[in-house]
A and B are shown apart, each in its own frame.
Chain A
C-alpha cells in the first residue's frame, strides 16, 4: 500500500517478555517517528530518525526501549522485559523531510500492545 504500514496490529504479551514492533514508512520518506498513546493520554514522542543522521532518542522512556532503522527505510521498535505500563498503541509516522514545519507527517494505524 501507499501508506505507513505497521505490524503486528495487535500484540498481547506476558510481562517480562520482549516485543518487536515493525514499521514500513511511505516510500521516499526520509523521516520516521515513533509515538505512543496510552489510555487517556495524548501522543507521546519516542524517537525520530532522519536519513543517515543519528536518531533523536530523547523521548524513549527507559533503556528497555530501543529502535533501529535499517537501510533508511524499515524501522523496528523493541521493548525488552515488558511491563504492564508499556501497554499502549505504538504509532509510527513518516514524512518527506524535516520534522514538523511544512512537512506533514503521516501515521500508520498503530500496533496495539497489551502486557498481561
Chain B
C-alpha cells in the first residue's frame, strides 16, 4: 500500500508557465514533507521542504503548499525553465516512523520551449 502517491507519472509544461506537481499521502502521522529533484544518471537532490505546522513554504521560483485536511501537497514552479525538466519525488517523514523517508514514485516534468 503506497503511503505517498504521485498520480501523474509525467507532466508537460510550456516554458515560462507554472508547473504544478501534486502529491497525496495517507499516513496522518507524517509531519514533514520534502521534494527531491532527479536528473538522469544522477542521485536525487533536495529541493524544498515543509513542516506540518505550516501550509506554505517559498524558495525563489519554488513554492510548496500543504493541505493537511486533504492530505495533499503540491509543488509550484513559476516561471518554469528548461533546466527544471527532471523527475520530482515527493517524500514524507513521520517522527515515530521506522523507515526513514517514504517516497512517491515521482513525476517526470518536461518543460517545452
Contact for B102 among A41, A45, A93, A105, CB less than 8 A: A45
Contact assessment for A42 and B106 in the assembled complex, using a CB-CB cutoff below 8 Å: yes
B99 A43 Cβ-Cβ under 8 A: no
From residue B16, how far is it (CB to closest CB) to chain A in Å?
29
- Chain B stretch 56-105: residues in CB contact (< 8 A) with chain A: 89, 91, 93-95, 97-105
* Chain A residues positioned under 8 Å from B49 (CB to CB): 104
Q: Contacts of A21 on B, CB cut-off 8 Å?
A: none
Q: How far is the CB of B46 from chain A (nearest CB, A)?
A: 5
Partner of B43, one of A58, A101, A110: A110
Contact check, A42 vs B103: say whether CB atoms are below 8 A apart.
Answer: yes
Report yes or no: A59 in contact with B43, Cβ–Cβ below 8 A: no
Beta-carbon contact of B43 and A100 below 8 Å: no
B43 near A56 (CB under 8 angstroms)?
A: no
B45 close to chain A: CB less than 8 A: yes
B42 within 8 A of A: yes
**Contact indicator per residue, chain A 91-112, by CB within 8 Å of chain B (1) or not (0):** 1010000011110111111100
- For B104, the chain A residues whose CB sits under 8 A away are 42
Chain A contacts for B102, CB-based, 8 A: 45
CB distance from B17 to the nearest CB of A (A): 26
Contact B99 A104 (CB under 8 A): no
Asked whether, in the complex, the Cβ of A56 is within 8 Å of the Cβ of B100, the reply is yes
Q: Which residues of B contact A4 (CB under 8 A)?
A: 43
**Please, which residue of chain A has its CB at the minimum distance from the CB of B103?**
A43
Q: A42-B106, A43-B89, A109-B41 are in contact. Are A100 and B101 (CB under 8 A)?
A: yes
- Decide: B101 and A56 in contact? CB cutoff 8 A: no
Measuring CB to CB, which residues of chain A are less than 8 angstroms from any residue of chain B?
4, 33, 35, 40-45, 48, 56, 58-59, 91, 93, 99-102, 104-110
Q: What 14 additional pairs, Cβ within 8 angstroms, besides A56-B99, A99-B93, A107-B36?
A: A42-B106, A44-B103, A45-B103, A48-B100, A56-B98, A58-B99, A59-B99, A59-B100, A100-B101, A104-B46, A105-B46, A106-B45, A107-B43, A107-B45
CB-defined A-B contacts under 8 Å, sample of 6: A45-B103, A56-B100, A99-B101, A100-B34, A100-B100, A108-B43
